[in-house]
């Protein structure tokens, strides 16, 4: 491991450790947070841009809750269902971007806890394992962490579901999805992931920070189903539903 990435990993671990020692404080307004470990006050939590009615398959917002939206009926995704806690809007967008691009890793605790608490309130059966969307090893070394894994730790803790980190690997470095137009995202991920036979028979939730076109979740679902997974859901803290998310065609 090169010294730069070791330093990044250590910095991340230290920040997480220090965070565990101090009482939670609201990241948005600096009021006390909610013990044991939510760094948001009840007011700021209530004001988050919660996702309302949505399609049960792709989690796209709808006027009324539906099991399957028209788009999913016309072109069903590979994964079985999706769940997102919030719209990809202020302040969730800032929290995610600060964590991802500015190394503010302690924000993973807010995002993961919020997602886990929201999921705990649904009466859906829980999966056997949560699988964070893997980064390619080179990118993870560069960044020092995988944001999806950090969020997954806290979400899974809320739900009492194990995180299975090694079930699927990113075997091909790909351009970052966020910089690509929706039309190129699917091709960018072709053959990017490989799952191990340990996925056989499992109900799996793949977890990412943002669900946009669903291309990443689809590529993971393809790999996991090929390895024998029984069910694959896509979980995300936030659902992007703007122009970038629109053409989710297979």
Q: Please identify which residue in 12, 38, 44, 229 interacts with Zn ion, judged by CB under 5 A.
A: 44
For Zn ion, the closer CB: 41 or 229? 41
- Binding of Zn ion at residue 81 (CB under 5 A)? no
- Restricted to residues 108-137, the positions that interact with Zn ion (CB under 5 A) are none
Report the DSSP pairing between strands 193-195 and 231-239: unpaired
Q: Please identify which residue in 26, 78, 86, 222 interacts with Zn ion, judged by CB under 5 A.
A: 26
Q: Please identify which residue in 54, 57, 84, 130 interacts with Zn ion, judged by CB under 5 A.
A: 57
Convert residues 174-193 into a mask of x (bound to Zn ion by CB under 5 A) and - (unbound).
Answer: --------------------
Q: Please identify which residue in 12, 72, 108, 130 interacts with Zn ion, judged by CB under 5 A.
A: 72
- In whole angstroms, how close is the CB of 78 to Zn ion at the nearest point? 13
Q: Please identify which residue in 12, 28, 156, 211 interacts with Zn ion, judged by CB under 5 A.
A: 28
Q: Per the structure block, which two tokens stand in for 71?
A: 């788009």
75 contact partners, CB below 8 Å, separation of at least 6: 248, 249, 250
- Binding of Zn ion at residue 206 (CB under 5 A)? no
**CB count in 10 Å sphere of residue 148:** 26
- Binding of Zn ion at residue 217 (CB under 5 A)? no
Q: Please identify which residue in 51, 58, 155, 206 interacts with Zn ion, judged by CB under 5 A.
A: 58
For Zn ion, the closer CB: 88 or 145? 88
- Determine the Cα angle at 46 with ends 45 and 47, to 5°: 90
How close are the terminal C-alpha atoms of the chain, in Å?
Answer: 38
- Reference 22, options 104, 88, 146, 106; nearest CA is 106
Q: Are 181 and 188 in contact (CB under 8 A)?
A: no
Residues 17 and 129: their CA atoms lie apart, in Å, by 25
């Amino acid at each position: 491991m090169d010294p730069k990435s070791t330093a990044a990993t250590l910095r991340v671990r230290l920040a997480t450790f220090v965070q565990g020692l101090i009482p939670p404080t609201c990241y948005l307004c600096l009021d006390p947070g909610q013990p044991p470990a939510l760094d948001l006050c009840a007011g700021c939590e209530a004001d988050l841009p919660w996702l309302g009615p949505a399609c049960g398959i792709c989690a796209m917002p709808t006027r009324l809750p539906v099991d399957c939206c028209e788009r999913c009926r016309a072109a069903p995704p590979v994964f079985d269902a999706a769940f997102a806690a919030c719209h990809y809007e202020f302040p969730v967008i800032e929290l995610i971007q600060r964590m991802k691009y500015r190394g503010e890793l302690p924000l993973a605790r807010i995002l993961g806890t919020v997602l886990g608490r929201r999921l705990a309130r649904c009466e859906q059966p829980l999966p056997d394992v949560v699988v964070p969307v893997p980064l390619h090893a080179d990118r993870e070394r560069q960044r020092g962490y995988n944001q999806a894994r950090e969020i997954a730790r806290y979400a899974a803790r809320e739900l009492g579901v194990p995180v299975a980190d090694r079930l699927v690997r990113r075997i091909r470095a790909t351009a970052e999805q966020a910089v690509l137009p929706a039309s190129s995202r699917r091709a960018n991920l072709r053959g990017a992931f490989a799952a191990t036979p340990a996925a056989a028979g499992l109900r799996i939730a793949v977890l990412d920070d943002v669900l946009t076109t669903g291309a990443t979740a689809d590529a993971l679902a393809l790999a996991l189903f090929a390895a024998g997974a029984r069910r694959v859901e896509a979980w995300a803290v936030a659902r992007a539903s703007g122009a970038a998310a629109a053409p989710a065609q297979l």
